[in-house]
Structure 1
Amino acid sequence: MTPDTLLERITDYANRANPWPLYEELRESGRVVPQADGSFLIGHYHDILALLHNPRISVDGRNSAKEFEEERRPPFLRLDDPEHHRLRTLAMRPFGPPHSPARVDAMRDAIARITEELVASLKDRERFDVVDDFAYPLPVTVICRLLGVPRTDESMFSEWTDVLVASADIGPAEDTAARDKAAMQAQQEMGHYLLDLADHRKGEPTDDMLSAFVNESDPELRLSADELAQTAILLFIAGHETTVNLITNGVLTLLRRPDQLERLRRDPGLLPQAVEELLRFEPPVHMRERYPLADLEVAGTTLPQGSTVVLALASGSRDPRRFKDADRFDPGRPDIEHLGFGSGVHLCYGAPLARIEAQTALGALIPRLGSATLVEDPPPYRTNAMLRGPRHLMLDVKGWN
């Protein structure tokens, strides 16, 4: 195997359960590793961080030299400033500071209630799936309440989300026409639903984000219909998909390390720090693509304008040049400036909410996991290489209470 096949091997499903030796090989192969498909793979922490903050590199696939077709403008997650800043600022108004500083914090009690309801539903079970029975319904219920989606309609979003997440995967050059067509249809259906829901809130606002968007009184601060649909879809997917993986990866990591599980049971005050360490050690987001707006030099290698640059965030968060004992999970680690939420202007919009959900979920599970055992290790993983996490995590839980 040669370094120019690393992206192909990292994204190969056969390596999904344990990509870490490949990330080590990536870091040892150099700071910029050209790939056979013409892309460039970067796995060192400081190089990734610098590029995430570099305004000469784009997130917008329309700046790629390869053929790129999209009928609609991308959501703000995949737009550059100044348009990214405008849309992100408008999206933040009903979500966080300075206009809605209490929105996320006010969800703490609701998140705790939802968590306890889910835990209670598992009582007297001898086996359950952490993903389907706990880690998925928690953030989905939370984001639906934030957006104002009726509980009876929550199940509709699962199929749409699976299709859209699959379309956002990273891999070597391949024919994605069928996948992209399915994603476009799912996006249109989901967008129409959310716009119709928002339209019913016009003039009759409720305490949710769709109502806030559609009842904004200042025309200069109002999202267009297309922008509202794109933003709501983005918030729904980003608001739960990565959190599912964060919670599930956390349970798996702790069950593999009974000493650290017991440490957190004895000292629950370590939990916020443990979640940050999980974001470093087993992050839900492994890679992001970027496109130089001009020829850009990194470590003596030129990244041509329009080329595809794959930032291996997960590799950077385990870079031994940045983190001592980088392959060791340590909930008490004092320095955890991970790349789990990205960095720079595209720092994860929902990071505060994800942290609360993960801390609440793991805080409820940890006291009960002492008697749990993994049914299968490694578990079956999702096919997506970019958003990595188990598809199922079955536990035997005799004595669960």
Structure 2
Amino acid sequence: MTTTEAPGTLQRILDYSSRADPYPLYAELRKTPVARQEDGSYVVSTYREIADILHNPYLSSDTRNLSHPTPGAEAGTTPAFINLDPPEHDRLRRMAMRHFGPPHTPGLVTGMEPALAAIVSGLIDDFAGKEEIDIVDDFAYPFPVAVICHLLGVPREDEPRFHVWVDDIINSIDYDPKTDPKEKLDKGVQARKDLREYLGGLLERRHGRPGDDLLSQLANDDGPDGRMTDDEIVSTANLLLIAGHETTVNLITNGMLTLLRQPQVLRRLRDEPDLIVPLVEELLRYEPPVHIIPWRAAYSEMTVGETVIPQGSQIMLMLASGSRDPNRFPDPDRFDPDRRDNQHLGFGSGIHLCFGGPLARRETQIALTELVRRLDQPRLVSDPPPYRRSPILRGPIHLRVERGDG
């Protein structure tokens, strides 16, 4: 079957003017579940087809298998395991998970809860005397950054340095040579090199000095799969440092924005704090932090729905569109914390299901519960707020809120 090309819709989604509300465009895109673009790539926008692809053994996450490699890829470096295929992916993910979660460290996240609560409480204490706060700068950014720095063993005082690098890397993810200045790509390439060099320096000082942080554990622990190479450790740390705070910043900020827009849900959460668990799951469906998986590759010819995708083709997965597919979720444009069977795509699916999902969930649960409990009559200063440039990792760059005397 020949798919209908829909390049206009995709370009409007990627354009910054649509950042505040891309969902009507996703609905338009879903009319063609698998749409071939003018450049030969394919955009997949419906739940069933996205889920099928994420579990398809003919899908490659290694961009080196693309017919046309993505700009900015670093030659000669080991990709993070999220960008590798089995068996390399499985080996590196197992080795990292030994120190990050079940089955080897099942109590990591729950054991951190007192520290998470203390960080949140301290940040909200700092709101005292302020009539207006920025949920991003004053809360949603410093909270997960403090957590991931502690986990990795990255000095908190170095945050201003890697903040600039991470911003440049995120801004370059959606680089389009047809419309973007080459400076955008160059800054991203340089930032990747600078961040890897910085993490490599931290790692070098960990060898032979076991500690509690993840860099030390990876550098000194020989598990069933052996020990990661230094390049593999740096790639893993790079991934965790970026993903470990960027997605959580967006999730917390999108969550607070959603609650401020729906005061009846905010009031209910204040009265029923146990609602936070299903509420965050609904948030991951309704306003997820990751909207798009930009490129995957078909390393063999594959059929998705009724569409045959040739070997080597680039495939773009519109996760946020799939999570609002009316063929999977009744009344998908309504925020419903009581929603049943909420198997959203907010953290992806399949073997690449988000590695840090359990931590991001708990951070967001604690953050939103305390914000709602302690902020008295919070009001949005502007709606919609200004958004980050990226259509991939989507969230407000600022969320200014007026507050009463809490």
Where on the TM-score scale, by shorter chain, does this alignment land: which range? Answer: over 0.9
Q: Which moved more, 1:107-116 or 1:292-301?
A: 292-301
Q: 1:246·1:283 contact (CA, 8 Å) conserved in 2? A: yes
Cα offset, 1:173, TM superposition = 5.9
- The corresponding residue for 2:169 is 164
SS at match of 2:297: strand
Cα offset, 1:370, TM superposition = 4.7
Q: 1:11·1:171 contact (CA, 8 Å) conserved in 2? A: no
Q: 1:8·1:172 contact (CA, 8 Å) conserved in 2? A: no
Q: 1:170·1:386 contact (CA, 8 Å) conserved in 2? A: no
Superposition map of 1:246-257 within 5 A: 246-257=251-262
In structure 2, give the amino acid aligned to 1:292: A
Match of 1:34 among 21, 28, 36: 36
* Distance in 2 (alpha carbons) for counterparts of 1:45 and 1:171: 26
Cα offset, 1:170, TM superposition = 6.9
Identity of aligned residues (%): 51
Match of 2:151 among 146, 149, 158: 146
- The corresponding residue for 1:223 is 228
Q: 1:6·1:35 contact (CA, 8 Å) conserved in 2? A: no
* Distance in 1 (alpha carbons) for counterparts of 2:265 and 2:356: 27
SS at match of 1:155: helix
Q: Which moved more, 1:216-225 or 1:387-396?
A: 216-225
The normalised TM-score by structure 2 is 0.94
In structure 2, give the amino acid aligned to 1:21: P
Match of 1:61 among 60, 63, 68: 63
Superposition map of 1:79-158 within 5 A: 79-158=84-163
In structure 2, give the amino acid aligned to 1:97: P
CA change 1:219–1:312 in 2 (3 A) is: closer
Does residue 337 of structure 1 match 2:347?
Answer: no
Cα offset, 1:391, TM superposition = 0.5
Superposition map of 1:282-361 within 5 A: 282-288=287-293, 289-361=295-367
CA change 1:174–1:307 in 2 (3 A) is: farther
Q: 2:388·2:396 contact (CA, 8 Å) conserved in 1? A: yes
In structure 1, give the amino acid aligned to 2:155: P
- Structure 1, unmatched stretches of 5+, are none
* Distance in 2 (alpha carbons) for counterparts of 1:173 and 1:48: 27
* Distance in 2 (alpha carbons) for counterparts of 1:70 and 1:148: 25
CA change 1:285–1:91 in 2 (3 A) is: same
- Structure 2, unmatched stretches of 5+, are none
Cα offset, 1:102, TM superposition = 1.9
* Distance in 2 (alpha carbons) for counterparts of 1:86 and 1:17: 39
* Distance in 2 (alpha carbons) for counterparts of 1:175 and 1:268: 45
Cα offset, 1:98, TM superposition = 2.0
Does residue 5 of structure 1 match 2:11?
Answer: no
Cα offset, 1:393, TM superposition = 0.5
Cα offset, 1:308, TM superposition = 1.4
* Distance in 1 (alpha carbons) for counterparts of 2:325 and 2:121: 37
SS at match of 1:237: helix
- The corresponding residue for 1:16 is 19
* Distance in 2 (alpha carbons) for counterparts of 1:279 and 1:213: 30
Does residue 25 of structure 1 match 2:28?
Answer: yes
* Distance in 1 (alpha carbons) for counterparts of 2:189 and 2:229: 19
C-alpha distance after superposition, 1:365-394 (max 9, x if no partner): 112345111111001100000100000001
Q: 2:119·2:143 contact (CA, 8 Å) conserved in 1? A: yes
C-alpha distance after superposition, 1:196-218 (max 9, x if no partner): 22222333322111110111145
Q: Which moved more, 1:130-139 or 1:145-154?
A: 145-154
- The corresponding residue for 2:202 is 197
- The corresponding residue for 1:260 is 265
C-alpha distance after superposition, 1:237-287 (max 9, x if no partner): 010100000000000001111111111111111101000000000001011
* Distance in 1 (alpha carbons) for counterparts of 2:264 and 2:112: 32
Cα offset, 1:158, TM superposition = 0.5
SS at match of 1:124: coil
Q: Which moved more, 1:227-236 or 1:151-160?
A: 151-160
* Distance in 1 (alpha carbons) for counterparts of 2:205 and 2:246: 27
C-alpha distance after superposition, 1:143-178 (max 9, x if no partner): 000011122222222111111112223769656754
C-alpha distance after superposition, 1:86-143 (max 9, x if no partner): 1111111111122222222211111111000100011121001100110000000000
In structure 2, give the amino acid aligned to 1:149: V
In structure 2, give the amino acid aligned to 1:330: D
SS at match of 1:133: helix
Match of 2:282 among 257, 277, 284: 277
* Distance in 2 (alpha carbons) for counterparts of 1:255 and 1:293: 45
Q: Quote the RMSD (CA, aligned, Å).
A: 1.8
In structure 1, give the amino acid aligned to 2:136: V
The normalised TM-score by structure 1 is 0.95
Does residue 207 of structure 1 match 2:209?
Answer: no
In structure 2, give the amino acid aligned to 1:12: D
Match of 1:75 among 61, 70, 80: 80
